[in-house]
Amino acid sequence: MTQASAQPRVLIFDTTLRDGEQSPGATMTHDEKLEIAGLLDEMGVDIIEAGFPIASEGDFNAVSEIAKRSKNSTICGLARANFKDIDRCWEAVKHARSPRIHTFIGTSPLHRAIPNLDMDQMAERIHETVTHARNLCDNVQWSPMDATRTEHDYLCRTVEIAIKAGASTINIPDTVGYTYPFESAKLIAMLLERVPGADKVIFATHCHNDLGMATANALAAVEAGARQIECTINGLGERAGNTALEEVVMAMRVRNDILPYQTGIDTSKIMNLSRRVSSVSGFAVQFNKAIVGKNAFLHESGIHQDGVLKNVQTFEIMRPEDIGLTATNIAMGKHSGRAALRSKLKELGFDLADNQLNDVFVRFKALADRKKEVYDEDLIALVADEATNDDNDHIQVKRLRVVCGTEGPREAELTLVIGGVETATDATGDGPVDAAFNAVNMLYAHHAKLQLYQVHAVTEGTDAQATVSVRLEEDGRIATGTSADTDTVVASVKAYVHALNRLIQRRQKTAPDSDVKTISYKQ
Ligand code: KIV
Ligand code: ZN
Q: Are 124 and 161 in contact (CB under 8 A)?
A: no
The answer to whether position 286 is within a domain reads no
Any domain includes 290: no
Assess whether 303 and 411 both reside in one domain: no
Q: What is the pLDDT of residue 352?
A: 84
> What CATH number does residue 413 fall under?
3.30.160.270
Residue 200, domain member (yes or no) = yes
What is the spatial distance between Cα 329 and Cα 71, in angstroms, rounded to a whole number?
Answer: 33
Do both 221 and 335 map to the same domain?
A: no
pLDDT of residue 228: 98
Give SS3 for 319.
Answer: coil
Residue of 206, 210, 228, 517 to test ligand 1 pocket, by largest number of atoms within 8 Å of CB:
206
Q: Whose CA is nearest to atom 2 of ligand 1?
A: 175
Counting from 1 in the atom list of ligand 1, the atom nearest the Cα of 173 is 3
Ligand nearest to the CA of 78: 1
Q: How far apart are CA 456 and CA 387, in angstroms?
A: 18
SS3 category, 284: coil
Ligand 1 centroid to 359 CA: how many Å? 41
Residues with CB under 6 A from ligand 1: 19, 104, 143, 145, 173, 175, 206, 208
Task: Return the pLDDT at 446.
Answer: 94
| 47, 89, 101, 145: residue to mutate for ligand 1 pocket, most atoms within 8 A of CB | 145
Distance 102 CA to ligand 2 centre (A): 12
| Among protein residues, the one whose CA lies closest to atom 1 of ligand 1 | 175
What is the reported pLDDT for 274?
95
Asked if 244 and 215 touch (Cβ cutoff 8 Å), the reply is: yes
Q: Which residues place a Cβ less than 5 A from the ion ligand 2?
A: 19
Do 302 and 239 share a structural domain? no
Query: Directed axis angle between helix 214-223 and helix 245-254, to 10°?
Result: 50
Would you state the pLDDT for residue 515? Answer: 36
Residue 242, φ and ψ in degrees, nearest 5: -105, 175
CATH number of the domain bearing residue 108:
3.20.20.70
Give the 3-state secondary structure of residue 232.
strand
Number of domains in the chain: 4
Question: Is residue 5 situated within a structural domain?
Answer: no
Query: Which residue lies with its CA nearest to atom 5 of ligand 1?
Result: 145
Domain enclosing residue 456, as ranges: 395-509
For residues 455 and 362, state if they share a domain.
no
291 located within any domain: no
Measure 351 CA to ligand 2 centroid, in angstroms: 32
Is 95 strand, coil or helix? coil
Q: Are residues 482 and 365 both part of a single domain? A: no
Give yes or no: residues 96 and 206 share one domain: yes
Q: What is the structure's pLDDT at 384?
A: 80
pLDDT at residue 511 in the model: 46
- 274 shares a domain with 357: no
Task: With respect to residue 3, please indicate whether it lies within any of the assigned structural domains.
Answer: no
Same domain for 430 and 504: yes
Predicted local confidence at residue 507, as pLDDT? 79
User: Is residue 522 domain-resident?
Assistant: no
Q: Is residue 405 part of a domain?
A: yes
Per-residue pLDDT of the chain (523 residues; tens, 9 = 90+): 445 568 999 999 999 999 999 887 788 889 999 999 999 999 999 999 999 999 999 999 999 999 999 999 999 999 999 999 999 999 999 999 999 999 999 999 999 998 889 999 999 999 999 999 999 999 999 999 999 999 999 999 999 999 999 999 999 999 999 999 999 999 999 999 999 999 999 999 999 999 999 999 999 999 999 999 999 999 999 899 999 999 999 999 999 999 999 999 999 999 999 999 998 888 889 989 999 998 888 765 566 666 666 777 776 789 999 999 876 555 577 788 888 888 888 877 788 888 888 988 988 888 888 777 788 888 888 888 877 777 788 999 999 999 998 887 889 999 999 999 999 999 999 999 999 999 999 999 999 999 889 898 887 777 788 889 898 999 888 888 888 898 999 999 999 999 999 889 877 765 443 333 445 666 6
Please report the atom of ligand 1 found closest to the CA of residue 242.
Answer: 1
Residues 276 and 411 in one domain: no
What pairing do the DSSP bridges indicate for beta strands 395-403 and 99-106?
unpaired
Last residue of a domain, one of 281, 312, 339: 281
3-state secondary structure 213-282: CHHHHHHHHHHCCCCEEEEEHHHCCCCCCECEHHHHHHHHHHCCCCCCCECCCCHHHHHHHHHHHHHHHC
Predicted model pTM: 0.83
Coil, helix or strand at residue 106: strand
Check whether residue 225 and residue 189 sit in a common domain: yes
Q: Are residues 174 and 212 in the same domain?
A: yes
Given 359, 388, 417, the domain boundary residue is: 388
- Whole-number Å distance, alpha carbon 208 to ligand 2 midpoint, is 6
Last residue of a domain, one of 366, 388, 410: 388
The contacts of residue 8 (CB under 8 Å, 6+ apart) are 227, 260, 261, 262
186 lies in the same domain as 258: yes
Closest CA to 263 of 44, 6, 429, 490: 44
